[in-house]
């Protein structure tokens, strides 16, 4: 069974596909427009182009092809994401608020905002408490005192230093006995 085509599918698939630059203007015609006597449309000058100019024209033509392909791809993406009319989005059916629905929506928003404000107040109080605790610990360090959580670390350091001292003394005794 044959597939039914819509007007849009016929236009986009068969009648209006974007043409490539060589289809619009072949390279030979493009070069003819840039010959030295091409500014005068009535003259049929057959002046030749030097090889450097021909190479520059070829690069320019390829660049135009590339730019055209970018434009075509951009338009295709726009049509895919924003609909067939380009950047125009299809209109939604509008539902206007009634007075009752507007009040309900506003009350819901008020409750949501109050809940969020309360959460933020709790977070800020917690952070403020942590900051006061940190400043208090820093104040203790200023006067040569260390906080309670560092006492275990101090004992470990002192024990490690005593052990190191004993190892050094033992090594020194062994070195003296060898001499």
- Structural domain contains residue 133: yes
CB 136 within 8 A of CB 129: no
* 75 shares a domain with 104: no
Total structural domains in the chain? 2
Which of the 8 DSSP states describes residue 92? Answer: P
pLDDT band (50, 70, 90) for residue 83: low
What is the domain extent for residue 64? Answer: 16-82
Nearest to 64 by CA among 33, 41, 101, 109: 33
Look-up: residue for tokens 């390279």? 27
CA 24 – CA 28 distance, rounded (Å): 12
79 pLDDT more than 80: no
Radius of gyration of the chain (CA): 41
pLDDT band (50, 70, 90) for residue 115: very high
Cβ atoms within 10 Å, residue 177: 7
The whole-number pLDDT of residue 75 equals: 76
- Structural domain contains residue 6: no
58 pLDDT more than 70: yes
134 pLDDT more than 60: yes
12 pLDDT more than 60: yes
Percent of the chain's residues with pLDDT above 70? 70
Tell me, rounded to whole angstroms, the distance of Cα 77 from its chain centroid.
19
Which of the 8 DSSP states describes residue 13? Answer: I
* 73 shares a domain with 111: no
* 158 shares a domain with 121: yes
Q: Which of 3-17, 53-67, 95-109 has the lowest mean pLDDT?
A: 3-17
The whole-number pLDDT of residue 165 equals: 92
Alpha carbons within 13 A on the beta-carbon side of 73: 6
pLDDT band (50, 70, 90) for residue 77: confident
Which pTM does this prediction carry?
Answer: 0.37
């Amino acid at each position: 069974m044959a597939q039914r085509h819509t007007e849009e599918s016929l236009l986009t698939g068969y009648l209006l596909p974007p043409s490539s630059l060589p289809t619009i203007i072949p390279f030979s015609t493009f070069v003819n427009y840039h010959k030295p006597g091409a500014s005068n449309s009535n003259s049929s000058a057959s002046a030749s182009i030097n090889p450097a100019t021909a190479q520059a024209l070829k690069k320019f033509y390829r660049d135009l092809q590339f730019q055209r392909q970018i434009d075509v791809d951009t338009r295709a993406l726009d049509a895919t994401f924003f609909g067939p009319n380009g950047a125009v989005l299809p209109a939604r059916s509008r539902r206007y608020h009634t007075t009752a629905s507007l009040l309900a929506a506003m009350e819901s928003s008020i409750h949501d905002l109050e809940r969020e404000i309360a959460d933020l107040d709790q977070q800020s109080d917690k952070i403020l408490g942590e900051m006061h605790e940190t400043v208090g610990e820093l104040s203790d360090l200023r006067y040569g005192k260390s906080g309670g959580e560092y006492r275990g670390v101090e004992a470990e350091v002192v024990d490690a230093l005593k052990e190191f001292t004993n190892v050094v003394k033992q090594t020194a005794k062994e070195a003296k006995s060898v001499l």
